[in-house]
Structure 1
Amino acid sequence: MTQPPAPGQPGPSEPQQTVDERPTAVVAPPSPRSVTLSLGMLATAVLVAVLAFLPVPYVVNSPGPTRNTLGELDGSPLISISGATTYPTTGKLLLTTASVQGGPGYPVDVFHVIEGWFSSGSTVQPVETVYPTGATSAEVAKAGEQQMASSQENATVAALTQLGYTVPATLTIAGDAAGTGASGVVEKGDVITSFDGKAVVSYQDLVDDLKATTPGDTVTLGVKRNGSPLDLSVVTGTKKSGGAQLGVLIDPTFTLPVDVKIKINDIGGPSAGMMFALGIIDKLTPADDAKGDVIAGTGTIDIDGTVGPIGDIRQKFHGALRDGATWFLAPASNCADVIGAVPAGLHVVKVSTLREAENAVQTIAAGKGATLPTCTAADVS
């Protein structure tokens, strides 16, 4: 017996059907214009992607790392001293650096250049304004290493001399400046032994003798030439900064009374010289010069303690502020670069000599930093 179907259900003879009530979409074929536009956009996107990763002839300078010259690096003192008593220090004297992207062997891409343009702490420059044309990465690295080694030696001699040590030196003449009184009188390889009859034992002796000389005076320069003593008459000239000069290039060899070793990695150039010298002085001074403060700075250092100009000071300001410094010692000769470039929260003190820099550190530690000179419009007028 067949049971009748339930209401609303198909009977045995009624086929079941599935009904799709969605309308069927009708897709029009793409027009030639839209095809052309799509292909053009795709080609442009591919081209932009390729160009973005191609090297461009620019250099991007950004804030680099800082190093505390009173602290440690990889578990060892950055500055280690033997042969003299050293004293505890509580502050930080930060040497500052700039990180360089671009140049020989390290090309930079468009993305990094654009990022540098929009960063207040970075600058973008054509590569030819930073590196000599045709220089290789190995040549650039070697030059930086040589400058760093020279700055460490200069810093050590300048610091020890300022602390009252006599630093004996052999002063060998490496050449003379054309048009000066020394031209044609001295010879390459001459070793300076005396100045107007007084023995020249150290580089500082020669500096002091010249300070006491009026430009244009004729002096008697005692030298050893091929091992034999010889007196030479030299008419002194005038330095650009004032004072008398001999007109000779000197290649000094020092005999250090104190053994100073500076450990620094992956940093080249001469701009850390002043901060190295301040670190040496603080370690060899009973008084705690920095006295807990974080003081950053930059500047080359000459053997006689003169602080010279450097590059990339804007980047070094930002690196110092990032790493906790509120005070920054800058070369007075960089004042044109300082004005308008100091970030909020950082106070800049201008210095011209190592003695001025040491006095600035002590004054800041005493809470009187506001009395120190800074760069003004008068310095660049």
Structure 2
Amino acid sequence: MLDEPAQPPRSERIARYILVVSVLFLIVALLGSFIKVSYAVESPGPVTDTLGELDDGTQLVRVDGAKTYPTEGELYFTTVRILGGPERHISVWEWVQGHLDPDSRVVPEDKVFGEDRSAEEVEELNAALMEGSQHTSIAVALRSLGEEVGQENVVARIAKKMPAAGALRLEDVIVSVDGERPGSLEELVNAIADREVGEEVTLEVRRDGRTRTVTLETADIGNDRAGVGVVLEPKYDYPYEVRIDAGHVGGPSAGMMFALAVRDRLTPGAMTGGKSVAGTGTIADSGQIGPIGGIRQKMVGARQADARWFLAPEDNCSAVVGNVPDGLGVVAVDTYDDAVTAVEGIAKGETADLPTCEDAA
């Protein structure tokens, strides 16, 4: 009878097992670090007080040519920090960490950056959106105070192979649609779209000081919506100079908070009553507040900054309900007037009747 081979000591077997597991873990870790995926991680970003000062001591919102008033409290605009992008895909480990973090959200890159855009193109687009948002917020705030703000709606971009190509030019001013003069950019766009695809639209256009009439057959610009293939933007004539400097933040989602800050600077007393109010939302020249992305992360960022109240676009309310951080009150707003009413109510402590996202939903 042959003798069985001697087994190595138990301690040696455990050491070998640990070594094998460690090597396997190292391999997995390296693979997770080097394998990239086309996703982005959204997490709470920093907040900025629109009533505050820049690093050089100047105010974020500055007015020249009109009386301004001291204020207190905070009107924060909120941001989302993005990890990943077209030229810096996240690793598998970052993807895993994003899913494990309850305050983060993992989304496909094209949902954040669009398709076939470079990081530089995304940055340029966000800078343009931020600039446009600032201009519109100033106009809305001044008009709410009874100021006259001149406005022209100009052609900013023309899509290729669309009806406007060859018929309209950049910087053309759209004066009227079918003989009617819309009061806002939103009304102008809706007036063009208010027909079946393929029907004609007549535009009165001012170019180089001369007015002409252009009749175009509309095309489908998406979702069976009629259009001519142009991007329009307003150009304003303010009664005095108002400047907003938000640093390197991009995108249009701070528009509502900028408009509130401009109003606060131009009216006596502290609009917030010394309280901390955060919020987010785009703003149209009609005063309509539009939805934004990353609402959950923005609420978390606001609460981390110790804000007690948050203004949320009504169209974002489905993502707000059930996700509000402890200690944060959320008010649903649909227009700029709603936002003004909300802040003034918070300042007075009269918040019981302010609309919530539960009400809106």
| TM-score, normalising length: structure 2 | 0.79
Displacement of 1:295 in angstroms is 0.4
Contact between 2:185 and 2:234, CA under 8 Å: does it hold in 1? no
Tell me the amino acid that sits aligned with residue 320 of structure 2.
Answer: V
Residue 73 in structure 1 maps to residue 48 in structure 2? no
Contact between 1:55 and 1:107, CA under 8 Å: does it hold in 2? no
Identity value in percent: 41
- Counterparts of residues 120-269 of structure 1 (less than 5 Å): 120-173=102-155, 187-188=168-169, 190-193=172-175, 204=183, 222-225=204-207, 227-230=209-212, 249-269=231-251
- Counterparts of residues 289-328 of structure 1 (less than 5 Å): 289-328=271-310
SS of alignment partner, residue 53 of structure 1: helix
Displacement of 1:131 in angstroms is 2.6
Tell me the amino acid that sits aligned with residue 353 of structure 1.
Answer: T
Tell me the amino acid that sits aligned with residue 53 of structure 2.
Answer: E
Contact between 2:185 and 2:286, CA under 8 Å: does it hold in 1? no
SS of alignment partner, residue 129 of structure 2: helix
SS of alignment partner, residue 292 of structure 2: coil
Residue 117 in structure 1 maps to residue 99 in structure 2? yes
Q: Distance in 2 between matches of 1:285 and 1:357?
A: 16
Could you report, residue by residue, the CA deviation over 1:22-65 in whole angstroms, capped at 9, with x for unpaired residues? xxxxx976899989856643431221231242253232111110
| TM-score, normalising length: structure 1 | 0.75
Q: Distance in 2 between matches of 1:141 and 1:174?
A: 18
Displacement of 1:222 in angstroms is 4.7
SS of alignment partner, residue 130 of structure 1: helix
Displacement of 1:96 in angstroms is 0.5
Displacement of 1:256 in angstroms is 2.1
- Out of 39, 43, 46, the residue aligned to residue 26 of structure 2 is 46
Larger radius of gyration: 1
Cα 1:233–1:40 shift into 2, 3 Å: closer
* Ranges in structure 2 where 5+ consecutive residues have no aligned partner: 1-5, 219-226
Contact between 1:147 and 1:269, CA under 8 Å: does it hold in 2? yes
Displacement of 1:93 in angstroms is 0.3
- Counterparts of residues 9-20 of structure 1 (less than 5 Å): none
Tell me the amino acid that sits aligned with residue 123 of structure 1.
Answer: R
Tell me the amino acid that sits aligned with residue 49 of structure 2.
Answer: N
Displacement of 1:191 in angstroms is 2.6
Once superposed, what is the RMSD of the aligned Cα atoms? 4.0
- Out of 61, 73, 77, the residue aligned to residue 42 of structure 2 is 61
Could you report, residue by residue, the CA deviation over 1:174-208 in whole angstroms, capped at 9, with x for unpaired residues? 5899xxxx989x8446434468989x7xx846778
Tell me the amino acid that sits aligned with residue 63 of structure 2.
Answer: I
Contact between 2:61 and 2:261, CA under 8 Å: does it hold in 1? yes
Tell me the amino acid that sits aligned with residue 72 of structure 1.
Answer: E
Tell me whether 100-109 or 145-154 shows the greater mean CA deviation: 100-109
Tell me the amino acid that sits aligned with residue 61 of structure 1.
Answer: E
Tell me the amino acid that sits aligned with residue 41 of structure 1.
Answer: V
Displacement of 1:249 in angstroms is 4.9
* Ranges in structure 1 where 5+ consecutive residues have no aligned partner: 1-26, 237-244
Q: Distance in 2 between matches of 1:33 and 1:294?
A: 61
Displacement of 1:377 in angstroms is 6.8
- Counterparts of residues 357-372 of structure 1 (less than 5 Å): 357-372=339-354
- What residue in structure 1 maps to residue 223 of structure 2? none
Cα 1:225–1:63 shift into 2, 3 Å: closer
- What residue in structure 2 maps to residue 23 of structure 1? none
Displacement of 1:161 in angstroms is 1.8
